Amino acid sequence: MPEPTYIQFFDAGLEPSHELLGGKCASLVSMTAAGMPVPPGFAVTTASYDAFLHESGISDEIAGLIDSLRHHDLSHVDEVSAQIREHIESRPVPDHVRDELRSAYDALQSRFSEEVPVAVRSSATAEDLPDASFAGQQDTYLWLMGFDAVRHHIRRCWASLYTSRAILYRLKNGISEEDLSMAVAVQKMVNAKTSGVAITMDPTTGDRSKITIDASYGVGEMVVSGTVTPDNILLDKVMLSVVRLHIGDKHAELVPDPATRSLVEREVSAERRAVRCLDDDELLAVASMAKRAEKHYGCPQDIEWALDADLPDGENLLLLQSRPETVHSSKATTAPASSGSTGFTGFSLAGITSALPGKN
């Protein structure tokens, strides 16, 4: 019987197994193999999580707590969630799992001239499925430096499988707890000067002859929270010409502070607010990359991207994540949307917040 695969680098040339990697990591492996500009990193596979559950002896305890759940009693759901997460975050990880993680972290850092920060991102097996969009239900942790911080936050990603929100989501959507598992992506951060999403259709109508791009300055977290309104650009998918343009307010941006190794909010000047945050070449590059992702996967995609300020212009566009578009991809095209729609309704930017400094 082959040894379990506890670690898989995105560029190892291995198959993107959803069962082993979860939705997010499988997508990162597949996009790397297709030659797309994915920031380097590795997956802590579901085999690592499963070995931890088995060797710590808590599988039966978790199953018992879930079976006892009174899911209409939200306070009881919160209580069960807290108990399970405490079990996961406090039990020891097997030595052989921890040692492989240590080796993988050191191997990733050896690719750079100095230690770089990483993001740790959950990749559940129930995540990013075409028929059950689970994006954003688990966790992403940013700006992590050093092995101890990384292993601690991997454990927190494992525990996030059992937040109250995630438990109720699975109950609502009929997702079985029996085969549930969690992989985790450990990925070099990106110094995002501009970031956003691109959807290879018009999400307000389902028109697959269009590409919709939403973009704002800095890291995309302020767009997710609704703090800023991004630029919204609708393009013709064939000609890549602008069909409709709405300049968002973009009054603030989240940018990295190297001194504190954290994000700080900065006001955007009136001059920058008034103009599109992507120039013509950048807009064309984002749209072209979105088309490549759709061609690779064979269905409409919802991608997350960033322009890395540390890289030269023309080489700084990075693909953070690509998942199937789930709202309109199976519906017929309807009437055109009114102008000014942001296009963010129903979509997640979970991956975009992994954009922070570090040089390739």
Query: Quick check: 121 and 140 in contact, CB under 8 A?
Result: yes
Q: Can you tell me whether residue 309 is helix, strand or coil?
A: coil
- The whole-number pLDDT of residue 127 equals 52
φ/ψ of 179, rounded to 5, equals -105, 15
What per-residue confidence (pLDDT) applies to 1? 62
The fold of the 192-354 domain, in CATH, is: D-amino Acid Aminotransferase; Chain A, domain 1 (3.30.470)
The pLDDT, as a whole number, for residue 348 is: 32
- Burial of residue 14 (CB within 10 Å: 0-12, 13-18, 19+) is middle
* Rounded mean pLDDT for each run of 10 residues along the chain, 360 residues in total: 89 94 91 91 97 92 91 92 96 95 97 89 69 54 91 95 88 82 92 92 94 93 81 97 97 84 89 97 97 94 90 89 76 39 31 34
User: Is 203 in contact with 328 (CB distance < 8 Å)?
Assistant: yes
What is this structure's pTM?
0.74
Query: How many angstroms separate the Cα of 301 from the Cα of each of 62, 192, 335, 343?
Result: 35, 21, 21, 14
Sheet holding 317-324, edge to edge: 242-246, 231-236, 210-217, 192-199, 301-308, 317-324
What pLDDT, on a 0 to 100 scale, did the predictor assign at position 169?
Answer: 84
How high is the pLDDT of residue 323?
87
Domain with CATH 3.30.1490.20 in the chain: 7-188
Quick one: pLDDT at residue 343? Answer: 33
242 and 235 Cβ atoms separated by less than 8 Å: yes
Q: What is the distance between the terminal CA atoms of the chain, rounded to a whole angstrom?
A: 38
At 87, list the tokens: 């079990």
CA distances 60 to 63, 85, 119, 251, Å, are 5, 14, 31, 50
Q: Which residues in the chain are classed under CATH 3.30.470.20?
A: 192-354
**Cβ atoms of 127 and 201 closer than 8 Å:** no
Q: What is the pLDDT, as a whole number, of residue 249?
A: 95
| Top-level class of domain 7-188 | alpha beta
Q: Give the span between the Cα atoms of 250 and 255, in whole angstroms.
A: 13
**What CA–CA distance (Å, rounded) separates 184 from 321?**
14
